[in-house]
Amino acid sequence: MSDRPALADVVLHPVRLRIIQQLGGRNRTTAQLREALPDIPQATLYRHVGALLDADVITVVDERRSRGAIERTLALGERMAAVDRAELSAMSGAQLRSAFLTFLGDVTGDFDRFLSADSPRARELVGFARTPLYVNTEDLAEIQTSLGELLAPYLTERGDGRRRVNLATILLPDP
């Protein structure tokens, strides 16, 4: 058995979720993270980066000396910041509620930052909807695999002027 903490215990923290979102599909230096997350104190940011590194959720892909300090470039690590079905199934109802509320809080924070920017160009890319699906577990696995294949070309920053958007999914079975 691994000594690593459960992935959910590591990633389902509001600051860590925001760090993970910044790294999704791209590499970022710690300075770039500080710039992208100005409301997070530097010491807090570094503490949470350390926790993500310790859990192999993020990894250092490059280091260089900058003004006497070591500047690290980070990327998502081998654990890839996704809570799997087994971990979700093992959570109590209270833990699952807490994880879901953390997720919703992160999405809400992103939406608030989007609204604060008040960018007409960005409004062309925003949207949200609900779509009922009638599936069993095999259907759901097929949909998730197909979505992964469909989205794969768009998951990495290409530097060609394309705008980054976040796609959030929530699956809620009817009672």
- pLDDT tens digits, one per residue of 55-93: 888 999 999 988 888 889 999 887 765 667 777 788 888
Using alpha carbons, select from 71, 61, 65 the residue that is nearest to residue 31: 71
pLDDT at 4 (0 to 100): 65
pTM recorded for the entire structure? 0.67
CATH topology of domain 7-120: Arc Repressor Mutant, subunit A (1.10.10)
Whether residue 97 has pLDDT greater than 60: yes
Q: Give the tokens for residue 175.
A: 């009672």
The three-state secondary structure class of 159 is coil
Residue with tokens 């509620």: 97
- Domain map (residue ranges) of the chain: 7-120
d(CA 117, CA 129): 22
| Cβ-based neighbours of 53, under 8 Å, separated by 6 or more | 59, 60, 74, 77
d(CA 26, CA 97): 30
Q: What is the band of 1 on the pLDDT scale with cuts at 50, 70, 90?
A: very low
pLDDT at 119 (0 to 100): 86
